[in-house]
């Protein structure tokens, strides 16, 4: 299958917003999505963007039954390790179900790795839910390590009323 | 004990480097620290810094046995959730052992929450090693939830040869 990977632009935000919802539905958390197409446009395409995106596109002849040619994306940003310096964090990686198994997910992830390394990053980090065996297997096959399983890293989060309380001086 | 929490300056990078190593020793991973003071200076104090830092300082009278007055730090940066928008990630929180139990750790963490709130962050996230029950308890008392234990979030990583190999396989532009 022919596909191309390129940097996302402002006009892609509509399709990225669509695919974010598709990914959230897959992860069974669609009611948690608050980010809108407008938020993506402001947050990703201003002078100091909070994230960068890449999209996977297929030719018109292979468009989906709903007419989409943008059929996958990855969203990433630079983060930091106080031990290793610059890192790249891959927030989302998604390929529409009918386009899976054709190397598109791998190509998107490789591109994030390449762009990260070009920016001086020595780690590519991301998170996966433990029940998501298909994704865990995919990533393991690419050679990543599970830092939670191997080293015992637990991700912790503070939000809502607890975050308000913490922010009191 | 009197202490002050303030934004780190470039000149603090030497002390921050020292404390990064102290924290790594505590986490039993001191051989993993590859970063230099110069990298911290370059990455944290340029026009588009990759992280921010707050330090905790005590007065001269309360300096440590080795003469340090900068006795704690918190290093953090901003991340993006495609569900919730901007979040703040607390990469390191450290207070020198002899200054613990005096509210300095809480002061540093609250400062990050405040700074995040001003930027409209909806979440503060961090990672803790599972054997570090003292820190896990500290964070849970501050209102954090363990997302790995409760929802099964696993942190995955590519580095070293695996990262090189993945990047080499990227499609040509």
Q: Which tokens go with B13?
A: 């990078």
From chain B, pick out residues whose CB is under 8 angstroms from the CB of A148: 148, 153-156
CB A80 within 8 Å of CB B46: no
Nearest to A156 among B43, B139, B152 (CB): B139
Q: What angle do CA A11, A13, A14 make, to 5 degrees?
A: 90
Question: Which residues lie across from B80 on neighbouring strands?
Answer: B86
CB B92 within 8 Å of CB B74: yes
Known catalytic membership, residue B139 = yes
Given an 8 Å threshold on Cβ–Cβ distance, is A157 in contact with B125?
A: yes
Nearest to A128 among B154, B166, B171 (CB): B154
Edge-first strand order for the sheet with A153-159 is B4-7, B52-57, B70-81, B85-95, B123-129, A153-159, B145-146
pLDDT tier, A162 (very low <50, low <70, confident <90, very high otherwise): very high
Question: Nearest chain A Cα to B121, which residue?
Answer: A159
* C-alpha span between B152 and B156 (Å, rounded): 12
Q: Which tokens go with A151?
A: 């080293």
User: Could you tell me which of A117, A82, A79 has the C-alpha nearest to residue B35?
Assistant: A82
Q: What residues of A act catalytically?
A: 139
Nearest chain A Cα distance for residue B68, angstroms: 20
Q: For the whole model, what pTM was predicted?
A: 0.94
Mean pLDDT rounded to a whole number for chain A: 94
Given an 8 Å threshold on Cβ–Cβ distance, is A82 in contact with B147?
A: no
Nearest chain B Cα distance for residue A66, angstroms: 23
* C-alpha span between A28 and A12 (Å, rounded): 24
Measured in residues, chain A has a length of 169
Edge-first strand order for the sheet with A52-57 is A4-7, A52-57, A70-81, A85-95, A123-129, B153-159, A145-146
Question: Nearest chain B Cα to A32, which residue?
Answer: B83
Sequence-ordered strand ranges (E) for chain A: 4-7, 52-57, 70-81, 85-95, 123-129, 145-146, 153-159
Nearest to B170 among A34, A110, A169 (CB): A110
ipTM of predicted assembly, 2 dp = 0.92
Whole-angstrom CA distances from B117 to A18, A125, A166, B121, B143 are 28, 25, 10, 5, 16
From chain B, pick out residues whose CB is under 8 angstroms from the CB of A152: 129-131
Q: What is the pLDDT of residues A89-120, one digit of tens each?
A: 999 999 999 999 999 999 999 999 999 999 99
Residue B28's pLDDT is 87
Considering only residues A142 and A1, tell me which one the structure prediction assigns the higher pLDDT: A142
**Region of poorest pLDDT, from A26-30, A95-99, A162-166, B57-61:** A26-30
* C-alpha span between A97 and A47 (Å, rounded): 34
Indicate if the pLDDT at residue A169 is higher than 80: no
From chain A, pick out residues whose CB is under 8 angstroms from the CB of B21: none
What would the mean pLDDT of B6-14 be, rounded to a whole number? 97
* C-alpha span between A107 and A76 (Å, rounded): 14
pLDDT tier, A28 (very low <50, low <70, confident <90, very high otherwise): confident
Indicate if the pLDDT at residue B119 is higher than 90: yes
Q: What is the pLDDT of residues A45-88, one digit of tens each?
A: 998 899 999 999 999 999 999 999 999 999 999 999 999 999 99
């Amino acid at each position: 299958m022919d596909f191309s990977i390129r940097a996302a632009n402002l006009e892609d935000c509509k399709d990225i917003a669509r695919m974010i919802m598709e990914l959230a539905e897959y992860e069974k958390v669609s009611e948690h999505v608050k980010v809108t197409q407008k938020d993506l446009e402001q947050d990703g395409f201003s002078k100091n963007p909070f994230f960068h995106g890449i999209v996977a596109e297929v030719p018109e002849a292979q468009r989906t039954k709903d007419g989409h040619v943008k059929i996958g994306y990855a969203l990433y940003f630079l983060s930091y390790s106080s031990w290793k310096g610059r890192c790249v964090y891959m927030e989302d990686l998604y390929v529409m179900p009918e386009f899976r198994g054709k190397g598109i997910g791998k190509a998107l992830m490789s591109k994030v790795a390449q762009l990260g390394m070009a920016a001086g990053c020595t780690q590519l980090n991301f998170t996966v839910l433990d029940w998501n065996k298909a994704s865990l297997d995919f990533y393991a096959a690419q050679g990543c390590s599970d830092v939670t399983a191997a080293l015992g890293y637990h991700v912790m989060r503070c939000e809502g009323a607890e975050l308000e309380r913490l922010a009191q001086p | 004990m009197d202490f002050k929490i303030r934004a780190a300056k470039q000149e603090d990078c030497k002390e921050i480097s020292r404390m990064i190593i102290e924290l790594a020793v505590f986490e039993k991973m001191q051989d993993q620290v590859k970063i230099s003071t110069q990298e911290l200076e370059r990455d944290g104090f340029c026009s588009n810094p990759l992280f921010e830092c707050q330090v905790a300082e005590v007065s001269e009278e309360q300096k440590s046995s080795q003469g340090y007055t900068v006795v704690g730090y918190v290093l953090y940066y901003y991340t993006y959730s495609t569900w919730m928008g901007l979040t703040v990630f607390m990469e390191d929180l450290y207070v020198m052992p002899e200054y613990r139990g005096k509210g300095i750790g809480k002061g540093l963490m609250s400062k990050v929450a405040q700074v995040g709130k001003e930027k409209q962050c909806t979440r503060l996230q961090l990672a803790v090693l599972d054997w570090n029950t003292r820190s896990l308890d500290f964070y849970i008392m501050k209102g954090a939830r363990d997302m790995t234990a409760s929802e099964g979030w696993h942190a995955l990583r590519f580095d070293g040869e695996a990262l090189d190999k993945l990047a080499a396989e990227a499609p040509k532009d």
